[in-house]
């Protein structure tokens, strides 16, 4: 259902950001003036949605769209906001698909021709 996906993915992300940055603004800034970083997760579907993904693509596109204005707004408090838009990752949901389906999804990825791994996403976020 379109509304549910928007509420969970977009409004949920906004509420998380709103609540965590409220706390961050009260932190003592580091020597650089920074108080923290918020990393949102969108999806390549925000830019290249597929058939049947209108709600998902819209929700992830909303995350992409709100990132820059919120980053500009929170910069005065020393808070950085960014969004990572990953492609296909081997999640518990995808792991439940038959291997043939997983292989088909991986074949559509230009390079490397495989699903991403959670530790790769974590390494990017920590970088």
From 49, 112, 37, 124, select the one nearest 84 (Cα to Cα): 124
What is the 8-class DSSP label of residue 36?
Answer: E
**pLDDT-derived band at 94, boundaries 50, 70, 90:** confident
50 has a pLDDT exceeding 90:
no
**pLDDT-derived band at 64, boundaries 50, 70, 90:** very high
Report the catalytic residues: 56
Give the lowest-confidence range in 2-11, 13-22, 112-121: 112-121
Residue pair 82/37 in contact (Cβ under 8 Å)? The answer is yes
Other beta carbons less than 10 A from residue 55's beta carbon? 18
For 69-90, the pLDDT digits (tens) are 999 999 999 999 999 999 999 9
Q: How many residues does the chain have?
A: 127
Provide the strand spans (E) within the chain: 36-41, 79-84
Other beta carbons less than 10 A from residue 71's beta carbon? 15
pLDDT at residue 75 in the model: 98
127 has a pLDDT exceeding 90:
no
pLDDT at residue 7 in the model: 98
Range of the domain at 59: 2-126
Count up the domains in the chain and report the number: 1
**Whole-model pTM over 0.75:** yes
* Comparison of pLDDT for 93 and 15, the residue scoring more: 15
For the domain that residue 34 is a member of, what is the CATH number?
Answer: 3.40.50.720
pLDDT at residue 49 in the model: 87
Other beta carbons less than 10 A from residue 85's beta carbon? 18
């Amino acid at each position: 259902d379109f509304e549910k996906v928007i509420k969970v993915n977009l409004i949920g992300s906004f509420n998380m950001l709103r609540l965590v940055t409220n706390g961050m603004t009260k932190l003592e800034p580091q020597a650089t003036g920074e108080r923290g970083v918020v990393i949102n997760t969108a999806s390549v579907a925000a830019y290249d949605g597929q058939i049947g993904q209108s709600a998902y693509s819209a929700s992830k596109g909303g995350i992409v769209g709100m990132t820059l204005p919120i980053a500009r707004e929170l910069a005065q408090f020393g808070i950085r906001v960014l969004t990572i838009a990953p492609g296909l990752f081997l999640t518990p949901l995808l792991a439940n698909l038959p291997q043939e389906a997983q292989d088909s999804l991986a074949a559509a990825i230009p390079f490397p021709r495989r699903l991403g791994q959670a530790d790769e996403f974590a390494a990017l976020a920590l970088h």
